A = this chain, B = another copy of it.
């Protein structure tokens, strides 16, 4: 789950961008001016910053420079928003260390694509690949294969994520809200009973190996550690 900070003084535009980002599944932080933006950037260390070039008070370029000169924030990619009239060409944008820029007026699609592209760049080449074994269950994250009782089990996306989550925290109880956050995403709105349904499906598919998924009445679920 990636966090994106948007620094933009036009409230309408800020809200619009924030809304679209959230719909794409990002966690969004906002700031209406440079000072606040800097503050938020330093305290929350977002994964990416969308920064308006023209801001009251501190200029966007200055914010960019400050962020790029701070050890904690220097590696956070920045996408600049520039108005067409502002004869800021690419070179100036990159001069202060921005990673990409989008010219206003921009389409939502374009901004989203560029954000995704910049985030993609900073993503590690190889994600952690591991093989987890709990009881009769084996999860190979690299191959995305789950085995129970030496039989390969075909799981759906949600089932897989849920199982992985339980397995990674084996031995510890997790309540439904926590599971919803970790598996379904922080901005998921819905019934907590959904978790129960998926637990049932998992247990069914896993057969007797599924017995290690224990219900902790009143608290949630856990996977036995033994």
Contacts and interface: CB of A to CB of B under 8 A. Distances in A.
B143 A91 contact: no
Given A16-B91, A91-B19, A186-B121, A129 B11 contact: no
Interface string A85-110: 00000110011000000000000000
Interface in A55-80: none
Nearest to A219: B144
Interface string A9-43: 00110011011000000000000000000000000
B219 A189 contact: no
Within the oligomer, what is the number of copies of this chain?
A: 2
A129 B172 contact: yes
Number of chain A interface residues as a range: 35 or more
Contacts of A144: 173, 216, 219, 222
Contacts of A91: 12, 15-16, 19
B217 A156 contact: yes
Contact of A95 (B15, B117, B173, B191): B15
A204 interface: no
Given A120-B177, A120-B181, A172-B129, A222 B143 contact: yes
Nearest to A180: B120
B16 A121 contact: no
Interface in A114-131: 114, 116-117, 120-121, 123, 125, 129
Interface in A129-187: 129, 142-144, 156-157, 160, 171-173, 177-178, 180-181, 186-187
A123 B180 CA distance: 12
A110 to B, nearest CB: 8
A160 B216 CA distance: 11
A123 B177 CA distance: 9
Contacts of A178: 123, 125
Contact of A172 (B120, B142, B156): B142
Interface of A: 11-12, 15-16, 18-19, 90-91, 94-95, 113-114, 116-117, 120-121, 123, 125, 129, 142-144, 156-157, 160, 171-173, 177-178, 180-181, 186-192, 216-219, 222
